[in-house]
Amino acid sequence: MVFESNLLCKIIGFSHLISNQLYKSKYLTIFKRLGNHSVIALIALIVIGGATRVMEAGLACPDWPLCYGSFLPLNHMNLRVFLEWFHRLDAFLVGILILFKFTLSIIWKNEIPNWLPKTYSLLLFLVIVQGSFGALTVINLLDSYTVTGHLLIAFLLLITTISINQNLENDEIEEPLIWWKLLLFVPLLLTLIQSFIGVRLSSTWSAHICLSFNKQCLILNTHKLFAFPITFSILLIIAAATYKRSLLTENWKYISTLIFLLFSQIVLGVLSLKTNLNEPIFIIAHQLNASLFIATLTTLIFRNPLRKKSLNHSLNSQMVGINS
């Protein structure tokens, strides 16, 4: 009799736990969906930003935050004005999306992990800094350091958003494998440095000057050479994953995407130079590819590296709890 009532209590407790979890996971699912939309909007924003720069449309709207004093400058619309205007509109939407997530996280703070509102406040801070950098690029007439800061903060926003998404997915069943995460952090850091050099290259027109007059070639040569340590760090990751087989089995989709993106990034860089930087499509694709490379690396760093094993482990321990 005692045994039966004990079992009943455990079953009730367990079903309570499950319904509570399902209730909470409803909120988390909303944040996950909003997070996925934010990643797509951010990558689109980075690409449109690249297109705006390549088409030399950065100053197509002479004022800020409006364009020709209007929210929709139909009287001045051409391709350049459209790019700069659309870039601002997308940035505005991303800002609203982040503000919305932050507000929801404050309203539902009792139902969600307490790291979430804090991380959204960081995201909100970054988006405000990013907006200010956007304004400064116009005010400072596309000053190279401002443009560089603008792209780097865009990448930081992307990294933070993806890390939040992955942490929401992980849901306490993580098996950390710190050495693997540190190993992945190396190419991420190198890629951010490479992107810094890349934007300096484009925003100071050094690549054009080097190709036309064979002057100021230091930045271009550094950028080309820096592809080697990045390639080397990716080779190390492949070697480590091959050595610890389960890592390769669980993460092969991401690792093969990384290899593909690295290869295409180098090919696009070479093509941009071979066409004397006259084909905007290669330069825009080079920027899109860089953001996808950063997004894939970040996902690999923050996802649960051995998801299935730890999920089974967690289910097993739940079952052991019930059985005992």
> Contacting ligand HEM (CB under 6 A), which of 290, 295, 300, 301?
290
Q: Which of residues 229-268 bind ligand HEM (CB under 6 A)?
A: 230, 265-266
Q: Which of 80, 277, 279, 310 binds ligand HEM (CB under 6 A)?
A: 277
Convert 292-321 to b/e letters by CB count within 10 Å (16 or more is b).
bbbbbbbbbbbbbbbbeebeeeeeeeeeee
Length of the chain: 324
Nearest to 300 by CA among 200, 195, 186: 186
Least distance in angstroms from the C-beta of 230 to ligand HEM:
5
What count of other Cβ atoms lies within 10 Å of the Cβ of residue 15? Answer: 10
Taking residue 29's Cβ as centre, other Cβ atoms within 10 Å add up to 11
Q: Of these, 270, 315, 319, 322, which contacts ligand HEM (CB under 6 A)?
A: 270
Shortest spacing between CB 61 and ligand HEM, in angstroms: 19
Closer CB to ligand HEM, 103 or 278, in the complex: 278
How many CB atoms neighbour CB 221 within 10 A? Answer: 10
Handedness of CA 269, 275, 276, 281 (dihedral sign): negative
Residue 41 to residue 94: CA distance in whole angstroms? 7
Least gap, CB of 305 to ligand HEM (angstroms): 23
Maximum Cα–Cα distance across the chain? 93
Of 32, 88, 94, 36, the C-alpha closest to 62 is: 88
Instruction: State the nearest-atom distance from the C-beta of 224 to ligand HEM, in Å.
Output: 5
Residue 199 interacts with ligand HEM (CB under 6 A): yes or no: yes
Q: Is 298 in the site for ligand HEM (CB under 6 A)?
A: no
Angstrom distances, CA of residue 118 to CA of 38, 105, 127, 153, 274: 17, 9, 14, 18, 47
Q: Please tell me whether residue 157 binds ligand HEM under the rule CB under 6 A.
A: no
* Cβ 47 to ligand HEM shortest distance, Å: 10
Residue 81 or residue 199: which is nearer to ligand HEM going by CB? 199
Tell me which amino acid residue 113 is. P
- Comparison of 125 and 232: residue with beta carbon closer to ligand HEM: 232
Residue sitting closest to ligand HEM (CB): 269
Stretch that binds ligand HEM, among 34-42, 92-100, 191-199, 248-256 (CB under 6 A): 191-199
Question: Residue written as tokens 């998801």?
Answer: 307
Select from 55, 122, 186, 227 the one that contacts ligand HEM (CB under 6 A). 227
Binding site for ligand HEM (CB under 6 A): 50, 53, 191, 194-195, 198-199, 201-202, 207, 223-224, 227, 230, 265-266, 269-270, 272-273, 277, 283, 286-287, 290, 293
